[in-house]
Amino acid sequence: MGLPGVARPADLQAKAEKIWSNCRDKLKDIVGARAFSTWIEPVGVVGMGAGSITLVAPHKFHVDYWEKNIRPAVQGALKDVEPEIKTFYLVVKEIKNETVAIARKQPHKRKMLQDEFTFDNFVEGSGNQFAKTAAWTFVTNQNGTRFNPLFVYGMTGLGKTHLLQSIGNQAVDQNPRTKVCYITSEKFFRDFINSISNKTTTQFSTIYRNVDVLLVDDVQFFQKKEGTQEQFFHTFNELLQKGKQIVLSSDRAPKDILGIEERLLSRFQSGLVVDIQPPDFETRIAILQQKANQDALDIPYEVLEYIATKIQTNVRELFGAIVRLLARSLLYEEEITLDLAKREIVKISPGGQSQKISIESIQETTAAKFGFNTDQIIGKGRRKELALARQIAMYLSREMTECSLKTIGLHFGGRDHSTIIHACKQIGSLTKSDGVVKTAVENITSKLAI
């Protein structure tokens, strides 16, 4: 029998399930039936805590899609259903929260590690070879801490987190009793603030100073947080004195991080500092191939090569391109082809074709393909071939730019959004059933994407 006024775990779970059920009802109207069935319906609820609810997805693709497309919608729906819910976490499989937790299968393994991050699936190339070798040597060197601490830096999305987590997973694989703690600098900061509020700073210090391997991501966010820097300084020193291992990551070299005390920066640089550079073309293709194989995706090599050509600096954006193509394929029942890739990648490639392709260039290219001029495409002529060309231009304007329906309509002689929607549906259907239209769309897309 529970204490009066104290919620039991079963009660909290029932409440969480009710909140999520009501939230899903709202989201069905917001995102549409097709997106709902693909991305929201398979998501369940794990439980809830103070001001948050934790959801669980069947696949990492769901997490990526939510972050890029529907997080604000979900956040808003949850707030409408239950105002006390300030945020939510969407996790995959057994990863339940953002705390430093004790793993079930290995009772001495402190972690927030994801099993998918290992040295085996870290794709090595010229830009990251030294960093990977240093990390492997760091964790497999049984005799000491010559490279301690290890500091890894590089632009966002290049694999720093993967490398840190690989170190943690390898450490535990070598000795299941190893206490490994992976944490972001932001989480360390929040935990420290909470410990002050709750008067539990002693417990806080014990947690972080009683580990064998401490992995801290994005230490640049310690800047200008004087109290947190002080706490981390003492944590760092105590672990180092005990001969424990410390790995840090940042988006820049230690000497370039402003707003951090000199004594802390000097400790960051006291071990081995290595950088990760953007992957070269061959490495980018290898990364994409591995991702496709890992998730059992049937993607033509020419599509992977095209993505690798257009996205050159960020591994996370490479994965995002795969997610976007998969989403498009699932939601619109389209085969993943080079034509689809050209239409979609221009929307996300940073500084790439999305800035060069305009409605005007689409109109001009389409008109030339069919032997018309731009004025005819924009005008009111109803000849069959002209009407088809106009609809293709509308369709590609919707597919290859980020312009709204209203904006597209204004570029086509002030036509309303329903006309644009009809054209998009019509051409979308014809590209599947009419070889002539499909070829025309592919040709125009190719010319625009050059």
pLDDT in tens, 129-178: 999 999 999 998 754 457 889 999 998 888 999 999 999 999 999 988 99
Same domain, 162 and 220: yes
Residues, the chain, total? 450
Looking at the structure, tell me whether residues 323 and 271 fall in a common domain.
no
Q: With bands split at pLDDT 50, 70 and 90, how would you rate the model's confidence at 232?
A: very high
Label residue 106 by pLDDT band (50, 70, 90). very low
Task: Answer whether residue 3 is part of any domain.
Answer: no
Residue 8 confidence (pLDDT): 52
Residues 118, 232, single domain; the answer is yes
Q: Indicate whether 148 and 31 sit together in one domain.
A: no
Residues 252 and 322 in one domain: no
What CATH number has the domain bearing residue 382?
A: 1.10.1750.10
pLDDT at 446: 77
Residues 326 and 420 in one domain: no
Domain assignment present for residue 351? The answer is no
Residue 350 maps to a domain: no
Q: Which of 370, 388, 380 lies closest to 429, judged by CA?
A: 388
Residues 312 and 202 in one domain: no
Higher pLDDT, 141 or 99: 141
Question: Would you state the pLDDT for residue 93?
Answer: 58
Kindly state whether residue 352 falls inside one of the protein's structural domains: no
Residues 332 and 364 in one domain: no
Over residues 408-442, the pLDDT tens digits come to 888 898 888 889 989 988 898 888 888 888 888 88
- Flag whether pLDDT at 123 surpasses 70: yes
Asked if residues 168 and 290 have their Cβ atoms less than 8 Å apart, the reply is no
Examine the fold and report which residue of 49, 66, 92 is the final residue of a domain before the chain moves on: 92
Q: Mean pLDDT lowest for which of 92-106, 160-174, 331-345, 346-360?
A: 92-106
For the segment 352-387, what is each residue's pLDDT rounded down to a tens digit? 444 457 888 899 999 998 999 988 999 888 888 999
Q: Report the pLDDT value the prediction gives residue 269, as an integer from 0 to 100.
A: 92
Residue 107, domain member (yes or no)? yes
204: domain CATH number is 3.40.50.300
Within this chain, do residues 307 and 264 fall inside the same structural domain, yes or no?
no
Do 320 and 424 have their domain in common? no
**Residue 398 contacts by C-beta under 8 Å, 6 or more apart in sequence?**
405, 408, 420, 424
Cα–Cα distance for residue pair 216/235, rounded to 1 Å: 12
314 and 188, same structural domain? Answer: no
**Residue 228: is it exposed, middle or buried by C-beta count within 10 angstroms (0-12/13-18/19+)?**
buried
What is the structure's pLDDT at 334?
Answer: 76
Residue 233 has pLDDT above 90, yes or no: yes
What is the pLDDT at residue 68?
74
Q: Which residues make beta-bridge pairs with 56?
A: 44, 91
pLDDT confidence tier of residue 254, bands split at 50, 70 and 90: very high
Mean pLDDT to the nearest integer, 104-127: 71
Assign 29 to helix, strand or coil. helix
In a domain, 383, yes or no: yes
pLDDT of 342 strictly over 60: yes
Instruction: Tell whether 60 is covered by a domain.
Output: yes
Identify the burial level of 431 via C-beta atoms within 10 angstroms of its C-beta, where 0-12 means exposed, 13-18 middle and 19 or more buried: buried
Identity of the residue numbered 425:
K
Whether residue 4 is contained in a domain is answered as no
Residues 124 and 67 in one domain: no
Over 50: is that where the pLDDT of 2 sits?
no
Percent of the chain with pLDDT over 90: 26
Band (253; pLDDT cuts 50, 70, 90): very high
Range of the domain at 22: 9-92
**What are the angstrom distances between the C-alpha of 54 and each of 33, 93, 310?**
23, 12, 36
Residue that wins the pLDDT comparison between 5 and 51 = 51
CATH number at residue 80: 3.30.300.180
pLDDT at 110: 43
The CATH number of the domain holding residue 307 is 1.10.8.60
Start-to-end C-alpha separation, the chain: 70
Q: What is the pLDDT of residue 136?
A: 92
Count how many domains the chain has. Answer: 4
How high is the mean pLDDT of the chain? 83
Instruction: Answer with the one of 222, 253, 275 that is the final residue of a domain.
Output: 275
Given 92, 124, 147, the domain boundary residue is 92
Tell me the average pLDDT across 112-117.
82
| Burial of 353 (C-beta count, 10 Å sphere; 0-12/13-18/19+) | middle
Q: List, for residues 289-301, the tens digit of each pLDDT value.
A: 888 877 777 788 8
